Amino acid sequence: MSANLPEEDLSCPVCCDIFQDPVLLPCSHSFCRSCLEHFWESAVFRSCPVCRRKASKKSPLSNRALKNLCEAFQLGKGQGSAPGSNTLCWRHGEKLKLFCLVDQEPICVVCQASKMHKGHDCSPTEEAALDCKDEMCAAMKILQHKLELYNKARQSSAFTLEHIKNQAQRVERQMKNEFLKLHQFLYEEEERRLSGLKEEEERRVAAVKNRDDDNGRRISSLTDMIRKMEQTMNAEDLTLLQNFKATIEGTWSTLQDPECMSGSLLDESKYLGNLKYKVWESMQAVAPYSPIILDPNTAHPCLTLSDDLTSLHYSTPNQGLPSNPERFHISAEVLGCTAFNSASHSWEVEVGDNEDWILGWASERVKRNQEVPARPENGFWTICLRDGQYRAMSSPPTSLKVEDKLQRVLVQLNWDRGE
């Protein structure tokens, strides 16, 4: 009866071969035990590879009925095959003793003399098998490196998802505190902005999950490719040579490295920056306004920003931040959320009694993963207080004479004049 079953009904969804030691998950899906264990090794959570339902940490139960069916199917399939059929040339019936290096397939001595392979370089199957194994080993190392990169990308995705959720919760909490300071008739504005936040959170989470799902599919593809390559390498020489061309061609169509997910975090400044002013402005009244809003997604981990994103202080590095491309990783710096490319702008910065500070302008293209001098050639136009001296960070730095210690600094920009 098992011999009449379609082969796909007895095939593992992961390796697509007949089940080997099948196990059964609570969701009723079955897999080869080795396939399932290998999938869980590269996954963030133990779940079903088909329906993604979470699985128990206990070892899955063996599916003995399915195992018996597969063994019966294999037995019936083996009885219907001709022994030694894969060792003879299908064109001439001669033994396959040579390997054509041009067409990359095993051939017989008659094939070598035929028009199809005449003039082609050939090697004995034993030598060719060794060369092919070496090439496949090199290709498998590349695939394994890709697999490692995608595993790290999935771990980063899980961390980023958690951070986005924490961001959304923190922004929501701060927004509610701001709205509580307003009158009852402002509640509609509050609900509208919270709805916008929820929609952005869903978009950001959906974007990261889509990328994470794509990485999962790529990991599954790479895992399957590596497993099939291992099976080919462990097969007999002739079987390896027969499958070598198709296997190695699939290897060179490898996937690109996982991309760093720039712009995946919530735009906190959109919701918190000048929040009360924007709402109060619609009521034709007065509200606190700050011309510069700091961007938390660019802040170095040792900088802690205020709730309204207008001030900061140096603190113990926060280890719970994702390593997103926008963030400064070496220098203790943070950018404003708004870029200027025209007109005139000015604002005051309160430096107070701080003994070490630097402020000014920075190009949005400044390097953030390495430490560079804050000078114009590196995209910085700044002044600083360091070691008790005020300096304009030109090239070379210029000392500034100040009679009294600065408490507030006025920053002015005339973009059109370049001043």
Residues spanned by CATH 2.60.120.920 within the chain?
Answer: 286-414
pLDDT of residue 182: 67
Which CATH entry fits the domain spanning 85-120: 3.40.50.620, 3.40.50.11030, 3.30.160.60, 3.40.50.970? 3.30.160.60
CA 72 from centre of chain:
44
Partners of 409 in beta bridges: 349
For residues 54 and 27, what is the distance between their CA atoms, to the nearest angstrom? 9
d(CA 232, CA 139): 13
What is the CATH architecture of 2-79?
A: 2-Layer Sandwich (3.30)
pTM listed for this prediction = 0.51
Describe the crossing of helices 125-180 and 237-252 by its angle, rounded to 10 degrees.
40
- Two structure tokens written together for 186: 């402002």
415 is written with which tokens? 């973009």
Write down the pLDDT at residue 143: 93
Length of the chain (residues): 419
User: 240: part of which helix (H) or strand (E)?
Assistant: helix 237-252
Tell me the C-alpha distance between 30 and 10, whole Å. Answer: 10
Question: What CATH class is the domain 286-414?
Answer: mainly beta
399, two tokens: 């000392």
* Cross-strand bridge partners of residue 77: none
Strand partners, 31: 23
Q: What is the DSSP string of 12-38?
A: -TTT-SB-SSEEE-TTS-EEEHHHHHH
Cβ atoms of 148 and 134 closer than 8 Å? no
pLDDT at 419: 85
Q: How far lies 334's CA from each of 46, 329, 363, in Å?
A: 39, 10, 12
Residues of the chain with CATH 3.30.160.60: 85-120
C-beta of residue 112 within 8 angstroms of C-beta of residue 94: no
The residues that bridge with 123 in the sheet, in sequence order, are 99
pLDDT along the chain (419 residues), means of 10: 63 85 89 88 84 84 86 65 62 86 90 87 92 92 93 89 92 85 73 90 90 87 86 86 80 69 85 82 69 92 92 88 88 89 89 91 88 89 92 92 90 87
Q: Return the amino acid letter for 346.
A: S
CATH 3.30.40.10 occupies which residues in the chain? Answer: 2-79
Q: In this predicted structure, what is the pLDDT of residue 241?
A: 85
Q: What is the pLDDT of residue 340?
A: 87
How many CB atoms lie under 10 A from the CB of residue 285?
A: 8
How many helices (H) and strands (E) are present in the chain, helices listed first?
8, 14
